[in-house]
Amino acid sequence: MEDKRGVEMNTVYTNISPVTNAYTNFNHFFYLKNVLNAKKVYVCVWDSFVYEDPRFYQGLDSKTDKFQKLTENVALLEKLMKHIGLSYKIIYLSEAWERLFKKTQYSQIFQKVMSRLTIEDLKKGFLIPYIPYNDISLSKLNYIVADYLIAVHLHDLFPEISDQNPKYYLSSERFKVFNDCISTVLKAHYGSVNLPELVLVKNVPVILDSRGFIPSIEMPLHELKRVFSEHYSKKEPEEKEIDDFLNVLQPILSDNFLLGQQKLPVSKLFKHINTDDKDKLCEILAENLHEYFSKLKDVLSTKEADKPSKAKYITNEKDFGQLLKTLNPLKIRILQECNGLNSSFDIARKAGLNKNTVSPYITQLRNLGFITNDRRPRRLINSLVIDLEGIEINNGGAG
């Protein structure tokens, strides 16, 4: 990619599926920063896909539910984005999906795309050296198509975070299978439309064990060695793959790659690698990935992820009445001070209100789901979005 395009790039839409905290997920954001020079990133977390993946549940303990685990995985990625200076907004596929399909015209576009995709089109994916293509579920095919439509219509679906569509859409090489069909349908539907420019992540080897796990930050060194060993038991090591993999580690390891007790630049380490000695190769790669994860943990431990909050998408008369009609200037002023730092006394003082007025309002806002139950309440909803096109209103009482 030419440098000039990286300089021009400012807004990027991408998706992520943090089933585990794999090195491929972290690399995705280094790619955004170091290769694309992204200024603003819209990240769609594929929560629906994560919850369908049985590998996700193997990482759960008895005290952690799936929502908490996904939040923790996303938090690590948020910390990384803060560390490397990416401005970002996060949305979740489950909510984006709901918003997309409440719009009749977007549902029609989706259906047209799905009706035009053929088995012959999908076969092209087997030529792409990525995660085994035959593992793709039918639901993931739906997610892939819907995700691009969400990016194309982002400003309409999520006006609370975006007033214009992203300039670029970052995805894996697999998306090439779908791009022509989706673009053709969109151009036929709109006549003239400015679609996000497609940017594909390349040269990122995907190391897989026999169960389909990618090495992740949770794994101890012996587990990492096992994954590399199983990966190369199925194929012969190639110099390009090894070179590309070491380059993935470069943003964290810099010139401190490990070779026994030595620390070397990647160029010198590569000279010591012998692809014929698989055991030694797996040991070197595992030790350097373990070092990468260790240093990454140290970096991320100094950062804080944003507290989860969301927009409330109002699509029916009940929500309109309960949420919007019950708000008044005093409640809005109180909500502005509900940042997780202020007690009810602090809120009253900062808002210039009587504490006896603030306390019942805080109770009402808690009951409506606007704020947490903590002594120092935090907003759970930062925006209210009304779907004027699709909202269902009962006109029975209209005069």
Residue 1 pLDDT level (bands cut at 50, 70, 90)? very low
DSSP string, 207-240: ---TTSPPPBTT--HHHHHHHHHHHHHSS---HH
Query: Which amino acid, one-letter code, is at 270?
Result: F
Q: What would the mean pLDDT of 229-250 be, rounded to a whole number?
A: 94
Determine how β-strand 381-386 pairs with β-strand 257-259: unpaired
Residue 385 has pLDDT above 90, yes or no: no
pLDDT tens string 137-161: 788 889 999 999 999 999 999 988 8
DSSP letter for each residue of 73-141 = HHHHHHHHHHHHT-EEEEEEHHHHHHHHHTSHHHHHHHHHHHHH--HHHHHGGGGS-SS-GGG--HHHH
- What are the residues whose beta carbons fall under 8 Å from the beta carbon of 235, sequence distance 6 or more? none
DSSP state of 374: S
**Residue 223: pLDDT over 50:** yes
Which residue type is seen at 172?
Answer: S
Report whether pLDDT(203) > 90: no
pLDDT of 129 above 70: no
**pTM higher than 0.75:** yes
CA 219/CA 213 separation, integer angstroms: 11
Q: How many other C-beta atoms lie within 10 A of the C-beta of residue 198?
A: 15
Kindly report the CATH number that applies to the domain delimited by 310-386: 1.10.10.10
The token pair at 247 is: 């380059």
Highest mean predicted confidence (pLDDT) among 117-121, 213-217, 318-322: 213-217
Residue 237, pLDDT score: 93
For the chain, give the mean pLDDT: 87
- CA-closest candidate to residue 393, choices 311, 321, 312, 313: 321
* Beta strands 310-314; 381-386: pairing state: parallel
Annotate 267-301 with DSSP letters as a single string. Answer: HHHHHT--TT-HHHHHHHHHHHHHHHHHHHHHHHT
Q: Which CATH class is domain 3-201?
A: alpha beta
In the three-class reduction of DSSP (H, G, I as helix; E, B as strand; rest coil), residue 320 is classed as helix
Q: Give the pLDDT confidence score for residue 390 in this predicted structure.
A: 63
SS3 371: strand
**In the chain, where are the structural domains located?**
3-201, 221-300, 310-386
DSSP string, 249-260: HHHHHTT-EEET
Q: What is the DSSP letter of 305?
A: P
What mean pLDDT do residues 317-321 have? 74
Under the banding of pLDDT at 50, 70 and 90, the label for residue 393 is low
pLDDT digit string (tens) for 284-315?
999 999 999 999 999 999 988 876 666 777 76
Pairing of strands 381-386, 87-92: unpaired
CA–CA gap between residue 142 and residue 94 (Å, rounded): 12
Of 208, 257, 255, which is closest to residue 230 (Cα–Cα)? Answer: 208
Confidence (pLDDT) at 128:
67
Residue-wise pLDDT tens digits, 349-371: 998 888 888 999 899 888 888 88
